[in-house]
Amino acid sequence: MGSEHFVATLALVGIVIVAAALLSGAVERSGLPQVAIFLLVGVALGPSGLGLLDIGLESPTLQVISTVGLVLVLFSDAIAADVPEIRRRRRLALLILGPGTLGPAVLIALAAWLLLGVGAASAAILGAALASTDPVLLRNLLRHRSVPATTKLALRLESGMNDVVLLPVVVLAMLALASQKEIVSGAEVARHVVGLFLLGPALGAAVGWLGITVLDRVRRGYGVRRDYESLYALGLALTAYAAAEGVGGSGFLAAFAAGLVVVMLDVELCDCFLDYGEASAEMFLLLTFVAFGTGPIWRGLAVVEWRTLVFVAVALGVRTAVLYPVLARAGVERGDRALIAWFGPRGLSSLLLVLLPVFAGVPGADYLFGVASLVVIVSVVLHGGGIAVQLQRMTRGDDAATITGTTATVAVPGARARPPRAALPQAATPAGDNGRETAAAAAARTPETITLDEVRELETRGEAVVIVDARTARSRDGDRLQARGSVRIPPDDAVRSARAIGLAQHATLVVYCA
């Protein structure tokens, strides 16, 4: 049994990695939500399909996957935060994370209390969980370059920060339910509150600061590869969680606090995580959807009745009703308000939050999970389909603009028409049958790095040289030094950007990214 379960788990991990890699291009072009695809993968692997996996709510595997998933969601949300932009648009941030988040949570909780007949604390859990906007479903939309900047900022703020606002509501409601089952002293309640709001965040911040200090010294002494820095960031998240949980604090808020410290003190580590580690975290989150798809999420279909259907409509519609006027107060234009208010999918974050009382053994938590699952299923269909349609429209608009638009010419000081190249002095290299240097030999002698003196020498010899600034927006905006005459190409959309600006194909490109 144990051996079969181990093999099935390895198969699950392998299938997720292979499928995510093979489908990444098609999913990006079509706009289809990856969530829906991997839920169906879970169905295929579960009891209704091949029968390779049967993960129930009581499964330790689901508890581990869900716990790590929520840690990664919170840490990724924090580390992806653009702190200078949030400070600049702090009114928008406060309105979205204040009334824009707590307002829907209160109204959803009220609907759960009136329609579903659950207690006040259970209703609060449902309200908080279903007020969480899912960052996984929004990922493709937020990566699209045609999405207005204000829309991106608002959705990133909401999906990236509202979990940390809603998590304490869930934990405190769980504590209230526990106090109904057994006598809990005032000292016990105070201990939980201190652990939630003070101890967890403090330990998370301490782990983040210590980790950055050690990393900086190692960088100066020996150097650290960028891909390993991304793994280092993931290690900080898990370490912060374990440290806080070990002393009675909130490990989830500790992971979030560690991410905030990293984003404020070490931009390079943030960029490394976003370049490499984010893909690893995304794979794990997709693995979580596969695990839900094997069985747990379909519990939502078992609770279908007219009351739950009305509740689903309220849970998915109340955010739009609340957020639209809130955004108007923030001065957001009407077109942006419509996009922001509509795209509020419920997904992994909601499921992970509502699983906390399930794992804690709170009475009636199974029913709460079933209701939340039904809302998520409907949201994946409605919001996921809406996002796919919107992405298709934006892509068609971009393609039309590329076809009918005028190609820009990049002018770089010192760059001239390229004459027959006189190569820099090189050692003798193997030649092919026609006397020319072989491709393999050319690749072998091509340097991966180039000095400023070598760039000047190329320009002196009449070479066309283009300086390409490929830093992330976070690194570039925080640096006062800019290369004179450089061309800006964002690293997350390099090919499309190069084509859009008409980057010379026969020039020597000198790219710097840090």
What is the reported pLDDT for 466? 80
Structure tokens, 77 = 């949300």
Smallest CA-to-CA distance from 501 within 429, 412, 407 is with 407
- The SS3 assignment for 487 reads strand
Q: Which helix (H) or strand (E) holds 512?
A: strand 508-512
Q: Do residues 197 and 205 touch, judged by C-beta distance below 8 A?
A: no
CA atoms within 13 A on the CB side of 174: 23
Contacts of 394 (CB under 8 A, 6+ apart): 144, 146, 147
| Per CATH, domain 2-402 is 1.20.970.10 | no
Domain ranges of the chain: 2-402, 439-512
What is the reported pLDDT for 232? 85
DSSP 89-125: THHHHHHHHTHHHHHHHHHHHHHIIIII---HHHHHH
What is the reported pLDDT for 504? 67
What is the reported pLDDT for 30? 64
- The SS3 assignment for 410 reads coil
Contacts of 313 (CB under 8 A, 6+ apart): none
What is the reported pLDDT for 369? 93
Q: Do residues 297 and 373 touch, judged by C-beta distance below 8 A?
A: yes
Tens digits of per-residue pLDDT, 70-92? Answer: 888 888 888 877 777 788 888 88
What is the pTM (predicted TM-score) of this model? 0.73
Contacts of 195 (CB under 8 A, 6+ apart): 244, 247, 248, 249, 250
Smallest CA-to-CA distance from 73 within 356, 368, 361, 474 is with 356
Structure tokens, 170 = 């869930």
Task: Extract the residue ranges of the chain whose pLDDT is less than 70.
Answer: 1-13, 16, 20, 24, 26-32, 179-189, 192, 272, 274-279, 395-448, 472-481, 490-506, 513-514
Smallest CA-to-CA distance from 295 within 33, 20, 73, 49 is with 49
Q: Do residues 321 and 99 touch, judged by C-beta distance below 8 A?
A: no
Q: Cα(27)–Cα(439) distance, rounded to whole angstroms?
A: 34
CA angle 225, 229, 234 (to 5 degrees): 155
| Per CATH, domain 439-512 is 3.40.250 | yes
Question: Edge-to-edge strands of the sheet including 465-469?
Answer: 487-488, 465-469, 508-512
Q: Do residues 11 and 46 touch, judged by C-beta distance below 8 A?
A: no
